[in-house]
Amino acid sequence: MYHISKDKRCLASANQMYEGLQKAMKEKAFNDITISDIQKYSYVARTTFYRDFDSIADILYWKCDNCFKEVLDSFTQKEFLNEFAMLDHYFDYWMKHSDILEQLIKINRIDIIYSCHSKNAEDLATKYGRLPHMDEVTSKYFLAIRTSLTIAILTTWIQGGKKETPGQIEKIIKETKVIKEE
């Protein structure tokens, strides 16, 4: 897990370690990367690494978690209640910030993507409340289904070379009737 305070220096160190990990991943397989490699590419001390992270994968978890927090926190209540407006906003964000998702897919850690999305989607549901026509249990299943669907769409889009625009993805979703228009 990661242990990063909101202090500017801690955030800067964490970002340096993420950038260092990106550089290392261009030269080595993820499983071959060591803490020494992170130090070499990020110029951050070993003690700083262990203060902020328990493992190298935690750097990716932290970055992914922050991206999902950023995109989901930026939803308005109107977008939250309109699935297609939310999807358009969501995919527009990921078109500009897909590097973390690409890295996680490359190392077969979709579980991190799912975990970060689910955690932040729960925070979003808490912020705006559950959908009015759903009880608490149904709302939890709805959230799990939507998280799985969203992650599947994101990974398919990335694995396909990110060729479709948010509008094209929306059209595909409408054509397959995965999400019904209201």
Whether the Cβ atoms of residue 95 and residue 169 lie closer than 8 Å to each other:
no
Tens of pLDDT, residue by residue over 11-48, are 999 999 999 999 999 999 999 999 999 999 999 999 99
Residue 161, φ and ψ in degrees, nearest 5? 90, 15
Please give the class, per CATH, of domain 8-55: mainly alpha
Cα 159 off chain centre by:
16
d(CA 110, CA 31): 16
Tens of pLDDT, residue by residue over 125-162, are 777 666 667 788 888 888 888 889 889 999 999 999 99
Whether the Cβ atoms of residue 57 and residue 108 lie closer than 8 Å to each other:
no
pTM of the model as a whole: 0.86
Per domain, the residue ranges of the chain are 8-55, 59-176
